[in-house]
Amino acid sequence: MLGDARPQADPYRRSFDEAGIGLVILDCGTERILDANPFLTNLLGYEAGSLTGRPVTVLGDGPDLLSAGIRSWGTASGSPVDVRIRTSPSSDTGALRTLVVERADADDIVRSEENRAALTAAGLGEWRIDLADGLLRVSRRAAHILGFPPGTLLTWPQVAGLMEAPEVERVKATARAAMRDGTPFAIEARLRRAGDDIEIRISARGQAIGAVGDRSGIVVGVLQDVTTRVEARDALRESEERLRIATSLAELGIFEWHMLDDQAVWENERMFAIFGRRSEEGALGKREFLSTVLHPDDRPAFRRAISTALREDSTLQASGRIQRAHDGAWRIIDMAGRFESDAPDRLPRRLIGVVADVTERRIAEERQALLIRELHHRVKNTLATVQAIVGSTARTASSIESFYEAFVGRIMSLAHTHSVLTEDTWQTASLRNLLENELRPYGDGASDGPGARRIVLDGPPVDLTSEIAVPIGMAIHELTTNAAKHGALSTQEGRVAIVWNVTEDAAGKTLHLAWSESDGPPVRPPTRQGFGSRLLQRVLTAQVSADIAASYPPEGFRLTMTAPLPARTEGLNPLA
């Protein structure tokens, strides 16, 4: 009978039934359960005694079902339960086998022998220090990482000898602080591997178990060779630093925009400087950028550029005007970026790009183009003026010498006016400077300073644009030359007064200039029209749209000129 195999002595029966751990007796020949104590039946969800006589397959299946270690058995309801199995010595006949069974702890499950292969595959080696004897016991993998033969019992001085002194002190301080506080610790250290003296980087994690103050207890942990990872990390840091320096020198702002939540990350200070925002104000998303910062006229082109880059999986290239936050100034930016996804064949989730403030460059390019057009126009006008000077001078000259003198003087006046225009940033010439340069040789001191007698200049500052500066400059030269040859400046007592002012109305600004000569020889109206007269009547009227009125009273020549003042070409101003 199967029941005859049960222990008959009452003390043993009682111990079997009241044991605080699962016990099961198996018949090795029939592979049936001879007996199971209440603890085990309760653990598996069976009624007491209901497992007796049943085949072992009720517990589960598999060749290792009854082997020592952590196994998965089935309960009465069919659900699995993890148990730890230990075996007791078999009987003399070898017919019986007793198993000691308990519920497996979750931590025990993950520390099972089956998981040691995973630790090895991850490059992790286990270690343990007994504080009582100070010996470091390491697994085969850990010994290999450190360069010691497997099974070597190590001391702390042996391990410390692989590191530089500062590194040793840092490791000791970190470990002691964690052990004192009862917290886990993680250390990354540089050492030279035993045996081949190759420098490596290791990562060690550990936790003190038990008392530490009286040095009873242990410290356990894992060890990993992270040399490759650290080198990659250092290389990445160096690359990022080089990129940071390069973008800083190029004054590029770096950003990352996340499409799903319309959130942006500005990676450097240059981005905040370009948009005139403080870092605490945060970055701008697409919605705010397009609706409040970007110029309204540039928004459609920006949206088209974004759509094209998304649709064609191409680089985003866009340009537009933004209003800087802190001062309200309008700036021109160029933006370049690339949409990226988290995995291949998935929709893009973010845009990574750079922004450059190109305001000054665009102004310089526009100013250069305008200057080229201005140069072409000025060269044509100058050549036409030179042609007129040659013809008129030849017609009025009485000899080669008089022709040469008049022609050279007029060409020098023309060259001087061009020089003044070229040197001025806005391509303008001061009316006062033109007058002073022509009349200075005939004055007896500063033309309008204290003690000045022959030359009087009286008027506000007026800047003449290039299209009127050249003809007015030549007119001043002709008036001065005529006054020196025939008018007030031909005698020591003669005087010339030039008075001007500027008025402004809805049509713009107008220059009013009066040239008056006095105390010179008596004046008579000319009997023929010379070059100066033709220039005053034709060139000023045609090129300057001036109204000219000349009179010849005996006391001295008079001329009045009323001319509109063209507005400055703002494109030539780099600060506009």
pLDDT digits (tens, 9 = 90+) for 94-123: 688 889 999 887 666 655 555 666 666 667
Contact 557, 488 (CB under 8 A): yes
d(CA 513, CA 407): 26
Those residues whose C-beta lies under 8 Å from the C-beta of residue 220, and which sit 6 or more positions away, are 126, 127, 128, 129, 206, 207, 209
Q: What is the pLDDT of residue 228?
A: 84
3 state SS of 251: coil
Q: In degrees to the nearest 10, what's the CA dihedral of 383, 387, 393, 399?
A: 110
Q: What is the pLDDT of residue 450?
A: 43
Give ∠ CA 31-33-37 in degrees, rounded to 5: 155
* Closest CA relative to residue 512, chosen from 551, 459, 466: 459
d(CA 392, CA 395): 5
Give ∠ CA 495-497-500 in degrees, rounded to 5: 175
Q: What is the pLDDT of residue 90?
A: 52
pLDDT tens, position by position, 250-278: 688 889 898 888 888 888 888 999 999 99
Domains of the chain: 2-110 (3.30.450.20), 113-231 (3.30.450.20), 251-357 (3.30.450.20), 364-572 (3.30.565.10)
d(CA 482, CA 489): 9
d(CA 264, CA 335): 15
Contact 114, 104 (CB under 8 A): no
Contact 462, 565 (CB under 8 A): yes
Amino acid at 30: T
Question: Which residue's entry shows tokens 């713009």?
Answer: 508
Helices and strands (H, E) in the chain, number of each type: 17, 23
Amino acid at 448: D
Contact 128, 208 (CB under 8 A): no
* DSSP alpha helix (H) spans, 320-462: 359-396, 400-423, 431-439
- Residue ranges in the chain whose pLDDT is less than 70: 1-9, 88-94, 106-122, 210-216, 243, 246-250, 370-371, 373-398, 406-407, 409-411, 413-427, 444-452, 528-539, 568-576
Binning the chain into helix, strand and coil, the percentages to the nearest 5 are 40, 30, 30
Taking the alpha carbons at both ends of the chain, their separation in whole angstroms is 113
Structure tokens given for 70: 């952590």
d(CA 454, CA 483): 12
Amino acid at 49: G
Question: Which residue's entry shows tokens 């319309």?
Answer: 262
Contact 314, 308 (CB under 8 A): yes
Q: What is the pLDDT of residue 213?
A: 55
Q: What is the pLDDT of residue 277?
A: 92
How many CA atoms, within 13 angstroms, populate the side-chain half-sphere of residue 81? 19
Q: Where is 282: in which H helix or E strand?
A: none
User: Model's pTM, two decimal places?
Assistant: 0.41
d(CA 316, CA 306): 6
Q: What is the pLDDT of residue 97?
A: 87
Those residues whose C-beta lies under 8 Å from the C-beta of residue 496, and which sit 6 or more positions away, are 439, 442, 454, 455, 456, 483, 487, 488, 489, 515, 516, 517, 518
What is the per-residue DSSP string for 312-359? HT--EEEEEEEE-TTT--EEEEEEEEEEE-SSTTS---EEEEEEEE-H
Bridge partners of residue 208, in order along the sequence: 219
d(CA 450, CA 420): 26
3 state SS of 385: helix
Structure tokens given for 251: 């004054």
Those residues whose C-beta lies under 8 Å from the C-beta of residue 287, and which sit 6 or more positions away, are 262
3 state SS of 236: helix
Q: What is the pLDDT of residue 355?
A: 92
Q: What is the pLDDT of residue 447?
A: 43
d(CA 252, CA 519): 69
The number of residues making up the chain comes to 576
Angle of the 359-396 helix axis to the 400-423 helix axis, nearest 10: 170
d(CA 514, CA 546): 13
Q: Where is 55: in which H helix or E strand?
A: none
| Sheet containing strand 316-323, strands side by side | 263-266, 252-258, 350-357, 330-340, 316-323
CB atoms within 10 A of CB 39: 19
Q: Where is 291: in which H helix or E strand?
A: none
